Every structure is written in C-alpha cells, then in structure tokens.
Structure 1
Amino acid sequence: MKNKYISASEINQFVYCPYQWYYIKKYGNKYINELREKEGFNNSELSNYKKGMEYHEKYYRDIVIMRYKKIAMWIAIALILLFLFVEFIK
C-alpha cells in the first residue's frame, strides 16, 4: 500500500469517473499519459479507455450544445418581449 490516506482530490477523481481513478491507481499517470499520446487504440485492453474518452468528449459536446441552445432561447425570449413591448406602445 503506497498511501494509507486518501486525499480529497483522489475522492473527487473517483466521483468524477471511477474508471479513470482505477486506471490511474492500477497503471499510474505515466502510463496513462503515454496512452493519451498514441493515435490508435486497437488493443482490446485499451478499448475501455477509448470508450471512456469518447464518452467524456461526447458529454462535453452535449454540454456545449445545451449552453448554446439556452443562450439562443434567452435571446428569442428577449426579442419576443421587445416585439410585444413595441407593439404595445403603438
């Protein structure tokens, strides 16, 4: 056992992605960083790593898209209210 204490950042890492925490514990940061530099993930051992990376990338893209949709919705509401206000004043 390397560390007998668990740090807050380690708990945060586990809560964010248990697989990431597990792989870092099992293989270490150096090995994980080497995997990130590789282009292809043909090895079956790396398939879960690839799936995890794809999942997090898709999740991030979905969040960005939702943020843009939210901004567009507020702009549309503001324009509708402005139009109604202008029509009401006439």
Structure 2
Amino acid sequence: MDRNRGPAGPVSLFPESDYRFGAGPLRMRVEHVDWNRPVQYDNDNWYEVDGIEVTSDGREIGRRQALVRGRSLTTLHRNSRSQP
C-alpha cells in the first residue's frame, strides 16, 4: 500500500478469450471502464478498460489498456472510479 494513494484495489483476472489483444490470462487492477462506448465484437459488447497490469504474485508490471468482453466485467461495480 502506498500511503498517499490508499489500499490497492482488487485484481481482476480475464481469460485470454475475454480480452483483446494479448496472450494468456490478463491480471489487472481496473481503474476505469468506458461504459459509455461499447464496441461490438464477436456478437458481444466489449469495453475499453484502463488499469495496472500485475503478475500472478501481485507485482505491478505497469499501466495497461485492454478491450474486455462485457460479461467479464459484471463483477465490477459501476462506481465513481469506474465511470467518466
């Protein structure tokens, strides 16, 4: 935990089939979802997601943007941190 930022948010795990583009599962601390601009792909709504990618042991890799399948985002709350 960084004393200036507060506790880190939970890490979301997205299987390779539920995000574009990359290989293997994506682990990230989601900071923002662009709920207002879904993208149609594979007959599903996908959303631009911004956050911090982390390793399986929790180390931060860095900032990451990804296009994520909407149904994978259902566990994320649409709170003030996730909306524009």
Q: TM-score range by the shorter chain?
A: under 0.3
Bigger strand fraction: 2
What's the TM-score once normalised by structure 1's chain length? 0.24
Q: TM-score, normalised by structure 2?
A: 0.25
**Quick check: which has more Rg, 1 or 2?**
1
Which structure is higher in helix share? 1
